[in-house]
């Protein structure tokens, strides 16, 4: 017998066993939605994952290593679920992962105010895993609360018999997290012997008695902390809901809040901060660099590259950073305060009639930030057709990348009234999305009945720390995008605009640039919309890669001078002059903004579409968007010209347009709010499809 041949597999075997022992221990983080699960994940792993009180925050498992007193772990954050019997995409992902990794220990996080409901999941987890830590999240500091400390001791004794470790604390408190890490040191994988123990226990003992003991213990825990809920009101219920969810006031209040957000973002505070940053970029930084470069370099295309391509292009986008920050700041306040869940409830009835659910509200609201991220959250729809519709609708929400377009072009022609134009554009996107969903529901993509479990979090004062984290994350993404995608695309646009197909520098050689040649071929398509010049057509092509490029491209085409006055002011003046490469009239400017709002999303969103809803629906979506954008831009251009021809003042038209959009929204609300079928309606004769009829 050759011993060498035997030693090799034995060596591999023992090495693999040693490696398995040295590998970090995997821990599953499980809990109901809105219990602070992702907050605990961030605290333990020092991450900055998005936290929110709504479906779709975590749509798949997220793994990250962390250490507790030199011992290594891997924490897996699973989507929120109410039970191990899945009713939605998130619950299916979570329950499947739990069953496939039943040997892993589980951290089950609960909310102290909702223990009675949260512990139902704990009861089910106890039947799957023997290694559970129950983390009761207090959302407050319990250091000086003596009464609560006594109740903690009672709860610990109740759970001791069930072999469930117990911890109560604040998931955001650093001291509580350090104490919690000590509990993790004794965790271990469920070995085969432990699994056999559980199996034997179920075989020998009466299963019903075993479950009864668990319930008894959980009821005792709930009775300990039940008094923590103020009054007899259900947790999350508030007197404010009588106003914010009032039958007649709810929609006007919601639109009023949005209007205030847009006013502060695009005008007032946002405009002032953007002007300050623009002056810093142009005069303090850009002007000095260009002056120095001209003194040391005589090559025309090098100077033009730095002045026009880099500082003029990238700088014009970077100056809108304060407005992007403000928009995300206000959206984070709406979310953290608990109002976002009420908005989902407010629109759930309307969305149900067009084949969507309240979950779609979250995806569409995220579209105001980024269409790519919003499209990803559509995967939490349990119905395939609803998922496709939700993804298709997200680009109709005006993303933050379109802010510079509205600010520059709208500001040049409509002045102070531009806030109404911007508000109208945002609302137009919402109306188009709802009407398109209604069409798809009736003709193409009929949705099945969908479950929608909505939890109202208590109204809270947003955490400054978390708000700053969200802002920093979005600022970082914006700056990375400018430093990579926007920078690269600006250089490409500059090369195409500055050189001919013979690669000769256009400003000195006087030849036709590559971009002008391409734009001239495409431009006639947009003549009926009022902006049939090659510059506008070329900017729209560049905008397919990233919408921010549209404004920087216009600035490049119109020769904005970094050493002159404000780049924004120069761009705004240039687009009003017929002598410029890109110019508009008030009618064509409004038409152009409507087209930018509705036409094809960026390439990143299209790639997500292809992955999530398939190539067929991606192609249909892009074609549909272009057709809708073209038709509505055509109507906008001709209606404006008609009103202008009658001698009407621009502001009157603007108010009329905004009023018309609001009337349409209100009509849709009243029309779709009427229930076509009701399980327990009082008047059976008026109910068309009542189950009890």
- State whether the Cα torsion 97-394-448-611 is positive or negative: negative
Residue 144 burial (10 A CB sphere; 0-12, 13-18, 19+): exposed
Nearest alpha-carbon partner for 450 in 335, 362, 354 = 354
In this predicted structure, the answer to whether residue 232 has a pLDDT above a threshold of 50 is no
Average pLDDT over residues 649-666: 58
Query: Which residue would you say has higher pLDDT here, 597 or 642?
Result: 597
Average pLDDT over residues 333-362: 76
Residue 415 exposure: Cα atoms within 13 Å on the Cβ side: 3
Cα separation, 220 vs 601, whole angstroms:
54
Q: Name which CATH class applies to 21-228.
A: alpha beta
Tell me the two tokens of residue 590.
């409004």
Cross-strand pairs, 501: none
pLDDT tens-digit series, residues 518-575: 888 889 999 999 998 888 998 898 888 778 788 888 888 887 766 666 677 788 888 8
Q: Domain ranges in the chain?
A: 21-228, 250-673
Residue 561 exposure: Cα atoms within 13 Å on the Cβ side: 5
Cα separation, 556 vs 551, whole angstroms:
9
CB 629 within 8 A of CB 597: yes
Cα separation, 122 vs 31, whole angstroms:
8
How far, CA to CA in Å, does 607 sit from each of 416, 614, 619?
A: 38, 10, 11
Predicted pLDDT at 659: 61
Provide DSSP, 551-578: HHHHHHHTT--TTSS-HHHHHHHHTT-T
CB 489 within 8 A of CB 548: no
Nearest alpha-carbon partner for 129 in 154, 162, 93, 158 = 162
Q: What are phi and psi of 202, to 5 degrees?
A: -70, -35
pLDDT tens-digit series, residues 565-605: 667 778 888 888 888 888 899 889 999 999 999 998 888 88
398, containing H or E segment: none
Cross-strand pairs, 423: none
Query: Which residue would you say has higher pLDDT here, 391 or 193?
Result: 391
The region that residue 76 occupies, defined by phi over 0 for left and psi between -120 and 50 for alpha, beta otherwise, is: beta
Average pLDDT over residues 272-276: 80
How far, CA to CA in Å, does 387 sit from each of 85, 450, 453, 526?
A: 21, 11, 17, 33
In this predicted structure, the answer to whether residue 229 has a pLDDT above a threshold of 70 is no
Cα separation, 496 vs 490, whole angstroms:
10
In this predicted structure, the answer to whether residue 190 has a pLDDT above a threshold of 80 is no
Average pLDDT over residues 343-372: 75
Cα separation, 55 vs 361, whole angstroms:
10
Predicted pLDDT at 631: 93
Cα separation, 137 vs 40, whole angstroms:
9
In this predicted structure, the answer to whether residue 305 has a pLDDT above a threshold of 70 is yes
pLDDT tens-digit series, residues 74-89: 989 888 888 888 777 7
pLDDT tens-digit series, residues 454-471: 677 777 777 787 778 778
């Amino acid at each position: 017998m050759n011993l060498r041949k035997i030693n090799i597999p034995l060596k591999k075997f023992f090495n693999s066993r040693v490696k398995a022992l040295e590998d970090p221990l995997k821990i599953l983080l499980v809990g109901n939605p809105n219990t602070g699960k992702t907050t605990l994940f961030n605290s333990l792993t020092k991450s900055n994952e998005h936290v929110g009180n709504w479906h779709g925050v975590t749509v798949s498992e997220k793994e990250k290593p962390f250490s507790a007193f030199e011992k290594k772990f891997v924490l897996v954050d699973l989507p929120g679920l109410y039970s191990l019997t899945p009713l939605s995409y998130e619950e299916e992902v979570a329950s499947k992962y739990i069953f496939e990794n039943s040997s892993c220990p589980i951290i089950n996080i609960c909310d102290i105010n909702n223990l009675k409901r949260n512990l139902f999941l704990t009861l089910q987890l106890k039947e799957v895993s023997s290694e559970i830590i129950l983390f009761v999240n207090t959302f407050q500091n319990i250091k000086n609360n003596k009464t609560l400390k006594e109740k903690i001791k009672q709860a610990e004794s109740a759970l001791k018999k069930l072999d469930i470790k117990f911890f109560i604390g604040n998931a955001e408190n650093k001291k509580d997290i350090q104490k919690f890490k000590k509990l993790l040191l004794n965790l271990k994988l469920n070995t085969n012997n432990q699994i056999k123990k559980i199996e034997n226990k179920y075989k020998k003992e009466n299963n019903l008695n075993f479950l009864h003991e668990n319930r008894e213990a959980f009821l005792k825990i709930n009775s300990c902390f039940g008094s923590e809920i103020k009054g007899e009101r259900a947790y999350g219920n508030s007197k404010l809901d009588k106003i914010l969810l009032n039958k007649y006031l709810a929609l006007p209040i919601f639109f009023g809040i949005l209007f205030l957000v847009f006013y502060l973002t695009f005008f007032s505070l946002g405009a002032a901060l953007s002007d300050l940053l623009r002056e810093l970029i142009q005069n303090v930084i850009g002007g000095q660099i260009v002056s120095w470069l001209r003194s040391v370099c005589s090559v025309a295309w090098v100077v033009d590259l730095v002045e026009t391509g880099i500082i003029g292009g990238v700088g014009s986008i970077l100056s809108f950073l304060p407005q992007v920050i403000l928009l995300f700041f206000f959206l984070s306040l709406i979310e953290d305060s608990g109002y976002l869940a009420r908005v989902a409830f407010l629109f759930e009835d309307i969305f149900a009639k067009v084949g969507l659910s309240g979950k779609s509200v979250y995806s569409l609201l995220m579209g105001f930030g980024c269409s790519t991220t919003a499209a990803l959250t559509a995967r939490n729809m349990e119905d395939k057709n609803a998922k496709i519709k939700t993804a298709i609708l997200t680009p109709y929400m005006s993303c933050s990348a379109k802010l510079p377009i509205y600010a520059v072009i709208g500001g040049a022609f409509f002045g102070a009234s531009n806030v109404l134009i911007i508000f109208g554009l945002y609302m137009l996107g919402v109306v188009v999305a709802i009407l398109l969903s209604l069409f798809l529901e009736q003709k193409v993509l009929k949705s099945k009945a969908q479950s929608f479990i909505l939890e109202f979090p208590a109204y809270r004062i947003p955490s400054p720390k978390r708000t700053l984290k969200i802002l920093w994350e979005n600022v970082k993404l914006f700056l990375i995008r400018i430093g990579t995608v926007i920078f690269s695309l600006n250089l490409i646009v500059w090369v195409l605009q500055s050189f001919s197909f013979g690669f000769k520098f256009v400003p000195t050689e006087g030849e036709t640039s590559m971009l002008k040649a391409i734009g001239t071929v495409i431009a006639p398509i947009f003549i009926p919309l009022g902006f049939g010049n090659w510059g506008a057509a070329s900017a729209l092509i560049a905008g397919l890669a990233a919408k921010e490029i549209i404004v920087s491209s216009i600035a490049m085409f119109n020769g904005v001078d970094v050493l002159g006055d404000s780049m924004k002011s120069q761009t705004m003046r240039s687009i009003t002059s017929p002598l410029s490469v890109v110019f508009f009239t008030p009618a064509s400017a409004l038409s152009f903004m409507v087209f930018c709002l509705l036409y094809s999303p960026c390439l990143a969103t299209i790639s997500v579409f292809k992955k999530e809803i398939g190539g067929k629906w991606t192609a249909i979506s892009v074609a549909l968007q272009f057709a809708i954008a073209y038709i509505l831009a055509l109507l906008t251009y001709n209606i404006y010209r008609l009103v202008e021809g009658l001698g009407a003042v621009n502001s009157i038209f603007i108010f009329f347009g905004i009023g018309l959009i609001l009337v349409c929204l209100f009509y849709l609300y009243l029309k779709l709010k009427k229930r076509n079928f009701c399980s327990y309606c009082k008047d059976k004769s008026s109910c068309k499809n009542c189950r009890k009829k």
